[in-house]
Amino acid sequence: MRRSSVRALPVLALSALTACGLVGCGQQIHDPGTGGTSTLAADTELVGRGILMQDSPDADVELCLGAVLTSYPPQCGGPTLAGEFSWDEVESEQQDGVRWTDISYYGVGHYDRDSGTFTLTRPLSADPPEGLAPPEQEAPSFPQLCEDPFRGGDENYGDPDLSIQNTFQEQLEQLPGYVESWVSDGERMFNVIVTGDAEEAHATLREVWPGGLCVEQRDAPTAADVNAASEALGKHRDELQLQGWGGQGALDVSVLIADEATVTRIHEVVQPWLTPEQVRITGDLQPLTP
């Protein structure tokens, strides 16, 4: 299975299935948001969306459900595709013996975790299948956190010096209780979240940054804790079938199937640093509503 080292996270629906596969057993759905579970029949179809990849003419075709490294050819990995499929049914490219699709396709079928095979029960389609409830995704928000961002600074500061920005970034990473930061005007308006005293953090950062600066206190996991948890989780990549992991202010984890056992194991691994409420787990394969 070709794997990308990229850890960008595709945000998909919060769905979870048990690890027994869909042959001869029921399925438990675990909702990390509510803690509730429900049972799926053994013949429940799953749906996943991704590009198709074949590393060589005699290799298995894979449905890439995780991150894709945008090289040429691209690099990615996913379940082995089984069932009725032909490259004539999709639009594809070839380079150096590698064949892939530039667009993503929806695959509907059954997944066998032991063999890593996704067996199609319907033809692949560029359109979502009937019965699939698309996940609701909020657009990312990068607001300005205060009304007086130049307090203690220079309102006329423009064209920021790169060395000053680098020093500021180093100061951020050393700041006690640092959670995350973003720029709200694309250039010089920095917004910073800390777990400790916001005024103290503001004064420390003002020593190196004269531009726009807003600092806010929140109860959230620090960047150090999220990074430590992410590194620990990465050591269990194959065991947990991780597709992507990382984040700021929380740990986002994408797995192939977010079954109850996988969710429990993820929480066990990151428990020294993060609570379950500070981890968002998503599954790339979703149950298809009849």
pLDDT in tens, 100-113: 999 999 999 999 98
Of 118-122, 134-138, 175-179, 216-220, the one with minimum mean pLDDT is 134-138
Please tell me the predicted confidence (pLDDT) of residue 269. 98
Distance of CA 135 to the CA centre of its chain: 14
Which pLDDT score is estimated for 131?
75
User: Is the pLDDT score of 157 beyond 90?
Assistant: no
CA–CA separation, 102 and 50 (whole Å): 10
Note the pLDDT of residue 32: 42
pLDDT the model gives residue 17 = 26
Evaluate whether 100 touches 70 at the Cβ level (below 8 Å). no
Q: How confident is the model at residue 130 (pLDDT cuts 50, 70, 90)?
A: confident
pLDDT at 165: 86
The secondary structure element, H or E, covering residue 215 is strand 212-217
Residue 50: the pLDDT is: 94
Confidence at residue 41, expressed as pLDDT on a 0 to 100 scale? 54
Tell me the pairing of strands 27-30 and 80-82. Answer: unpaired
Q: Is the pLDDT score of 1 beyond 80?
A: no
pLDDT in tens, 70-91: 888 898 889 999 999 999 999 9
Contact (Cβ atoms closer than 8 angstroms) between residue 254 and residue 241: no
Averaged pLDDT of the chain: 83
pLDDT confidence band for 16 (50 / 70 / 90): very low
CB burial class (10 A; 0-12, 13-18, 19+) of residue 130?
Answer: exposed
- Give me the mean pLDDT over the 36-51 stretch: 70
List beta partners, residue 191.
Answer: 182, 214
Q: What is the pLDDT of residues 209-262, one digit of tens each?
A: 999 999 999 999 999 999 999 999 999 999 999 988 999 999 999 998 888 899
Does the reported pTM lie above 0.85?
no
Q: Tokens for 78?
A: 């996913």
- How far apart are the two ends of the chain, measured CA to CA in Å? 31
d(CA 59, CA 57): 6
Contact 226, 274 (CB under 8 A): yes
Q: Which of 45-59, 152-166, 222-236 shows the lowest per-residue confidence on average (mean pLDDT)?
A: 152-166
The pair phi, psi for residue 253, each rounded to 5°, is -130, 125
Please report which confidence band the pLDDT of residue 143 belongs to, taking 50, 70 and 90 as the band edges: very high
| Residue 272 confidence (pLDDT) | 97
| pLDDT tens-digit series, residues 192-218 | 999 999 999 999 999 999 999 999 999
For residue 176, say if its preceding peptide bond is cis, omega within 30 degrees of 0: no
- In this prediction, residue 135 has a pLDDT band, given cuts at 50, 70 and 90, of low
